[in-house]
A = this chain, B = another copy of it.
């Protein structure tokens, strides 16, 4: 057997059994090894951004990493933007990047590049494999790091380490270090501060704190102390809907965010960062909390967040307190909008018709700003979203979620400008017959940038600004585009048409795209 076989075996012994791939010549031995492992599910993306975005969506829903197969430095470069999003979501991921044979690097062949240099900015762990026997340890370390940091790991696989022989060995699952528990002294101090600040305190949470159980526990703490609870502006995954905590997130528009946090004098971080503006604006602050707000860290990113919340609840004797902020179900048979379609109507229809246990992949950007709040009262679902601001994550996220959860409906809320970044992902949805409904908000513009231009004082656009911010000449035909890649599709210009298409898409299995012209 060779190093590539060992690579596959090390993944499989650790229950990593999905590989999103876009291979090249230097990975042929890896492909051949995968071919000998039918228990590994290999999913092809026609562009590397699809591959890592799908791996991100997969791990967010499967709670275990997928592997990816990427080709040399430039192939990995194409994957970096969605690695960035995954890194920001702290998604476990094992990227395997093929490289030239070790002895070939000296020749500076055309595809040679500084893979480590490219990988580090978007990885939490980078490791170059030194020889065939090093493949197993390297993949084991990456697996453990992906779950214990947690985060994005990148392993560089020289071709001769893949094709070189290794001794047969009996493999055992890799030991993953336990996540760090909360310091009891810290817990006691924070409990005291929460009691003191009452309604002027807030928890800021992300990561595994946003699953149903820990969120409910946090809501018991809030009921016991008067504190509020927020999610970060962007989060990897939130379990939500009626009967669960209606968790407000920090809004993107800076004035709204400042308003939301203006009365918070104590902010307790649970895996989250201090909230800051997505961008700087002239004359506005960078941090979204006021200067006098105290910041206390209950648990850092990568710590045992649910455990920390439970410990805090125990300290406050809050386990038996009824949780605050539990969302009620929306009234059944809510009226659906009618008439000319707009973004808000699309959001209302989707949230009203949302099927129980579905997964929402949100890259709706400006069009879907009201959507998150509307879904508080929808049937229970998972909400995963663009995390790092690198657009082009939505279509791939939906791929990964659907691969991880084949029995659940995945609904992609997709801005048109962002969707074009990784539009190739539609083909993978067709190829794998994934149960994804993609809703395209076809406003035919980078709408968010129109707002940002106004924010810098430009209201009348000339030719060059129009050329750079509008997508309307020619208008993209999303129905034809989807069909060209094997995805059935329809176009809606009225709310009634959208409702009909959306109901139809929900009633069938397999990918469907709706172009919502707004």
CB atoms of B108 and A113 under 8 A apart: no
Interface flag for A242 (CB, 8 Å): no
A246 to chain B minimum Cβ distance, whole angstroms, is: 23
Task: For A464, list chain B residues within 8 Å (CB).
Answer: 31, 34-35, 37-38, 40, 42
Question: A29, A276, A455 — which one has the most chain B CB atoms within 10 A of its CB?
Answer: A276
Within 113-131 of A, Cβ neighbours of B (below 8 Å) are at 113-114, 117-118, 120-122
A389 to chain B minimum Cβ distance, whole angstroms, is: 4
Can you list 9 A-B pairs with a CB-CB distance of less than 8 A?
A: A21-B468, A23-B468, A31-B469, A47-B392, A80-B80, A88-B110, A106-B286, A117-B117, A163-B456
CB atoms of A81 and B77 under 8 A apart: yes
If A456-B163, A473-B431 touch, does A286 touch B103 (CB 8 Å cutoff)?
yes
Interface hit among A323-331, A351-359, A397-405, A415-423: A415-423
Alpha-carbon distance between A509 and B474 when the two chains are bound, in angstroms = 17
Point out the residue from B34, B69, B286, B481 that lies within 8 Å of A104, measured CB to CB.
B286
Point out the residue from B69, B160, B273, B468 that lies within 8 Å of A34, measured CB to CB.
B468
Question: A38, A80, A280, A473 — which one has the most chain B CB atoms within 10 A of its CB?
Answer: A280
CB atoms of B474 and A430 under 8 A apart: yes
Within 390-430 of A, Cβ neighbours of B (below 8 Å) are at 390, 392, 417, 420-421, 423-424, 427, 430
Interface flag for A251 (CB, 8 Å): no
Alpha-carbon distance between A81 and B73 when the two chains are bound, in angstroms = 8
Point out the residue from B104, B286, B483 that lies within 8 Å of A279, measured CB to CB.
B104
Q: Can you tell how many copies of this chain the complex includes? A: 2
CB atoms of B21 and A108 under 8 A apart: no
14 new A-B contacts, CB < 8 A, other than A108-B273, A477-B483, are A32-B453, A35-B462, A37-B464, A42-B464, A74-B388, A100-B280, A110-B233, A110-B388, A111-B389, A113-B122, A421-B424, A475-B486, A477-B485, A480-B484
Interface bits A17-38 vs B (CB < 8 Å: 1, else 0): 0000101111011011011111
Interface flag for A263 (CB, 8 Å): no
Interface flag for A159 (CB, 8 Å): yes
CB atoms of B462 and A390 under 8 A apart: no
Alpha-carbon distance between A60 and B133 when the two chains are bound, in angstroms = 45
Interface flag for A310 (CB, 8 Å): no
Alpha-carbon distance between A159 and B120 when the two chains are bound, in angstroms = 24
Task: For A468, list chain B residues within 8 Å (CB).
Answer: 21, 23, 31, 34, 42, 44, 69
Question: A24's closest neighbor in chain B, by CB?
Answer: B449
Point out the residue from B46, B457, B485 that lies within 8 Å of A417, measured CB to CB.
B46
Interface flag for A3 (CB, 8 Å): no
Q: Which 4 A-B pairs have the closest CB atoms?
A: A474-B486, A74-B390, A104-B280, A101-B280
CB atoms of B81 and A78 under 8 A apart: yes
